Structure 1
Amino acid sequence: MTGLDILYVEDDARLAEEVARLMADDGHRLSWTDRGEEGLKRAASAAFDVVILDRMLPDLSGIEIVRRLREAGVAAPVLMLSALGRAENRTEGLDAGVDDYMAKPFDPPELSARVRALHRRAAGLAHSAVILFGDLECHVKARTAHRGGRHIPLSPKEFTLFRYFMENAGEVVTREMLLRNVWNLSFDPQTNVIDVNVGRLRRKLEEGFDTPVLETIWGTGYRLVAG
C-alpha cells in the first residue's frame, strides 16, 4: 500500500503530534487541524483517503462533522477517536456515518492497522470477486474458501469470519473488531463465542497443511499470516 493522505481533526496538540509521527512512520501524509469547522471544510474540499476525527472538539463535534460530510456526499472513510468509549457512544458514532470507532487511550499499532483496513475497504479491495493472501483464496460471490487449491468447507458464520480475516490479512484483528463486524454487536456478551468459532476456522484452514495461518495475539486478538 502506498502512502495515504489523511486528515486528522484533534484539539489535543500533544496527541496530534504523536499520531502525526505514527502516520509518518507508516509512510502516510497527514493534514492536521484543531478546529472542527476547518476540518469539515478541508474534508469537503479535498480528497482524503482516511479522515480521523476526535469526537469532542471546542467548536463542532466530530459527530456533527461526519453527519454533515455524509449529507454532502463525502464518502471518505472516517475513524473516530474518543474518550467516550461506552457501547452507546460507539453506536451513536456508527449511526451518524462513522466507519470505525476507537476509544482513547488507544494502542498505536492498532490505530495504524485500522487506518490501513479502512482504506482497503473504501478502495474496494475487500469487495473483489476473489481475495488472495498467501496460499489462501476467498471467493466472495461463491462464498467459498480454498487453501493451496483445496476447497475448505465452511459454515456461513465461519465464511463470514474467514472473509473478514482475509480483508484484514496480515493485520491484528481485535476481539472488539470481530464482535462489531462479524457478529454485529456493539458490546461484549462475555461468552467464548469468538474463541470457539476462531478455533473451528483455524482447524479447518490448517488441517493437512504444514504451516499455521491464524495466529493468536494474546490479550488482543488474532492475525492471519501467509502459509
Structure 2
Amino acid sequence: MMIALISIPATYPVSGPKEKRGTGGKRRFLLAISQPRRLQYGLRMNVLIIEDDAETGQYLLRGLREAGWDPVLHGTPQAGILEVSSRTFDAIILDRMLPGMDGVDALRLIRGAGIMTPVLMLTARTSIEDRVEGLEAGADDYLLKPFALSELLARIKIISRRAPRVAETTELTIGDLCLDRMKRVVDRAGQPLDLSPVEFRLLEYLMAHPGEVVTRMILLEKVWGYRFDPKTSLVQTHMSRLRGKVDKPFEVEMIRTVRGSGYILDA
C-alpha cells in the first residue's frame, strides 16, 4: 500500500462532505445523463470519486457498481486527497468545481505528491482554456457535463490502459541498491533509505531504466504528470535530495548528471 504525505494549505480546511443545494441547472444536467445500465468492462476496478453534489455522487456510485467496479465517494477534495494518499486506486473521477478548493488545485497536490493514478476530470465549463488548465495540471482526460455513463466508463478504462504498468517483478536491484515496489521501501547495502513519495517514484523510474540517460522532461511527465515544461527547478531540487540519500553516505556514486541531457543510474 502506498502512503503519500500531502500538505493541504491552511486556506483549505479539512471538513466532511458538504451537500450542495440543488439548482435548476444542476437538475437539468442530471436528467440529461443516460440512465445507469449494467455494463461489463473486464477487470474489477477501484475508483475514487471526488464529487460534492450528493445526487451526482450517488448516481456515479450506482453506475460504477452496476459496471462491476468498486467505487469510493468523497464529497470534499480534502477527504479525497487523504484517501488517495493512503491507498491505491485504478482511477480517479474528479469534479472541477468543488467546495473550498478547485479541482485543479486538488489535482496539483495529488501529482505533487508523486501519485500518478489516472484522473478523469468532470466539468460544466466549456472553454478550451479551462480544459487545457486541467490537462496541464495532470488530468489524463476531460469529460464535459452532461455526459453518458457509458462514455464515462469507456474513458476510465482507456486512461487506465494508458497508465504505466508495474513490471511483473516487484523488486528492482542495481548493485547494492534495492527497491521493493509492493512494500514501498528502499535500502542500499542493507541500510534503509527514508525517501519521500516523489523521491521513491524518481528512483523507481531510474532503476527501471538502468544505464539510460533519462531527461528532465521525461521525469516531469512520468513523476509529476506534466506534459509541458513548467520552467521551474522542480526536478533538480528533488534529484539533489534523492542523491543526498542514495549516494552521499556511500563510497560509490550511482546517480550521475549528464550535462545538458539528464540523469543516469548505474552500478
TM-score bracket, shorter-length normalisation: 0.5 to 0.7
- Give the match for residue 99 of structure 1: 140
Structure number with larger C-alpha Rg:
2
Q: Which amino acid is the alignment partner of residue 79 of structure 2?
A: E
Matches within 5 A, 1:160-199: none
Task: Give the CA deviation at 1:2.
Answer: 1.4
Could you report, residue by residue, the CA deviation over 1:61-103 in whole angstroms, capped at 9, with x for unpaired residues? Answer: 1101110111100010000001112211110000000110111
Partner Cα separation in structure 2 for residue 87 and residue 64 of structure 1: 18
Query: Please, which of 64, 74, 81 is the counterpart of residue 122 of structure 2?
Result: 81
Query: Please, which of 40, 48, 62 is the counterpart of residue 81 of structure 2?
Result: 40
What's the secondary structure of 2:85's corresponding residue? Answer: helix
Instruction: Confirm whether residue 112 of structure 1 aligns to residue 147 of structure 2.
Output: no
- Alpha-carbon RMSD across the aligned residues, in angstroms, is 1.4
Task: Give the CA deviation at 1:42.
Answer: 0.8
- Give the match for residue 199 of structure 1: none
Could you report, residue by residue, the CA deviation over 1:109-162 in whole angstroms, capped at 9, with x for unpaired residues? Answer: 10010011111111549xxxxxxxxxxxxxxxxxxxxxxxxxxxxxxxxxxxxx
Q: Name stretches of at least 5 consecutive residues in structure 1 with no aligned partner.
A: 126-227
- Give the match for residue 91 of structure 2: 50
- Give the match for residue 206 of structure 2: none
Q: Name stretches of at least 5 consecutive residues in structure 2 with no aligned partner.
A: 1-41, 167-267
What's the secondary structure of 2:152's corresponding residue? Answer: helix
Q: Which has the higher contact order (CA 8 A, sep 6+)?
A: 2
- Give the match for residue 223 of structure 1: none
Task: State the 4+ residue runs in structure 1 displaced beyond 2 angstroms.
Answer: none
- Give the match for residue 57 of structure 2: 16
Q: How many residues align?
A: 125
- Give the match for residue 158 of structure 1: none
Task: Give the CA deviation at 1:32.
Answer: 0.3
What's the secondary structure of 2:88's corresponding residue? Answer: coil
Q: Which amino acid is the alignment partner of residue 36 of structure 1?
A: P
Q: Which amino acid is the alignment partner of residue 82 of structure 1?
A: T
What's the secondary structure of 2:120's corresponding residue? Answer: strand
8 Å CA contact 1:9–1:34 kept in 2: the answer is yes
Could you report, residue by residue, the CA deviation over 1:27-85 in whole angstroms, capped at 9, with x for unpaired residues? Answer: 10010011111111111221010001001111211101110111100010000001112
Give % identity.
Answer: 39
